Structures are given as structure tokens and as C-alpha cells.
Amino acid sequence: MNNDPDNQTDLQLVAAINIGDHDAFAVLYHRYKDWVVGLAFRFTGHHDDALDVMQETFAYLVRKFPGFELTAQMTTFLYPAVRNLSIASRKKRQRSTSHDKDLDLFPAADPGHSLERDDFTVMLAALSDAHREILLMRFVDDMTQPEIAEALQLPLGTVKSRLHHAVQAVKNSPVVVELLSSG
């Protein structure tokens, strides 16, 4: 077994954490914190909320020890926790800000962003929540279809169908058609 925690696999780190190695948890935390914050930000649209979700996610993970068994990729295990904590955070923010009832899954486009980014954001916002989530999990988070199915607790066929329909919706999006025809 590799003794340098930075070079250990997730399974090796989990085994080390299970026997009380706090350094191994720190490695796991540093390995996935940016991914968790990015995913949480995608759901909440707020940096501070995403940081809160990150803390809650790792608190959830630490409570799994000792005795935790990693049976999938760490991102597959963490995804539902990040998603659910982010949705709860977003709902809490919506309740606390009565003037802002319709917070989008994505933050408003920054005027400094290019037209293509704005168009991409608009195109993604036009997708259903289920299609947008599957598309982002596959192409942004680089998760496989079986990993997505496990993370969302959906049959693989449902994931394949949603991904196919999401890709078709993107291909047929007026934004994409216009960008392709003008290029």
C-alpha cells in the first residue's frame, strides 16, 4: 500500500480513514472540495451557499466513518448529497428573499461574459431540469451513464433516454442552429 496519502486511491484513503487516519480525510477533502463547490454553485447560483453546501457535504461524509465502504466513484457517492443539500439551500434562500421568487438553476449572466456564454446559458435554461442535470453530469462532471444512474437512483435506460433527448434538444436549439450557421 502506498504510504503517501496524496498518491493513494480513494479506496485506499477510505480504508485509512476507517482506521482513524485524519490526514487521509484531509487528502480526500482537498481532492474533491473544488468539485463539490462547483456542483453546489451550479445548483444554488450563490458562492456563499455553495461553500456552505461544501461544508455540509463533508460533514455528512465524515459522519459515515468509521465503517464507510466506497462502492462507486467518490463523485458518484457525493453527487446526491451535494444535490440535495444545494436544493435545500436554494429553497431556504427563496423563502428568505420574498422579492426573488424565481431563482434560476444558473446565475444571471454577467455583462462581462461573451455572447456565446450568454447564449449557452439561455439554451441550458430552456432545457427541463431533468435534461439539464443529466447533460451537465455527463459533459461537465464527466460522469458515465452508469455513474449518473447510480447517483440519481434512476434506471440506466432512463438516464440514456434523458441524455439522448437532452442532446437532441441542444442540437435543435435555435441558439445552436444560429451559432452553427453563422460559423
- Cell readout for 107 is 446565475
Q: What angle do CA 90, 147, 5 make, to 5 degrees?
A: 90
> So what CATH class is 1-103?
mainly alpha
Give me the chain's average pLDDT, please. Answer: 84
DSSP state of 20: T
The predicted pLDDT at position 117 comes to: 58
Pairwise pLDDT comparison (80 vs 106), residue with the higher score:
80
Q: 111-123 pLDDT, tens per residue?
A: 444 445 566 777 7
The predicted pLDDT at position 12 comes to: 96
Q: 102-154 pLDDT, tens per residue?
A: 444 444 444 444 445 566 777 777 788 888 888 888 888 888 999 999 989 99
Into which CATH architecture does domain 105-183 fall? Orthogonal Bundle (1.10)
Counting Cβ atoms within 10 Å, is residue 51 exposed (0-12), middle (13-18) or buried (19+)?
middle
- The domain locations on the chain are 1-103, 105-183
What is the DSSP track for 135-166? HHHHHTS---HHHHHHHHT--HHHHHHHHHHH
The predicted pLDDT at position 183 comes to: 56
Pairwise pLDDT comparison (176 vs 32), residue with the higher score:
32
How far from each other are the two terminal CA atoms of the chain, in whole angstroms? 52
**pTM higher than 0.75 for the full model?**
no
- Cell readout for 181 is 450557421
The predicted pLDDT at position 103 comes to: 42
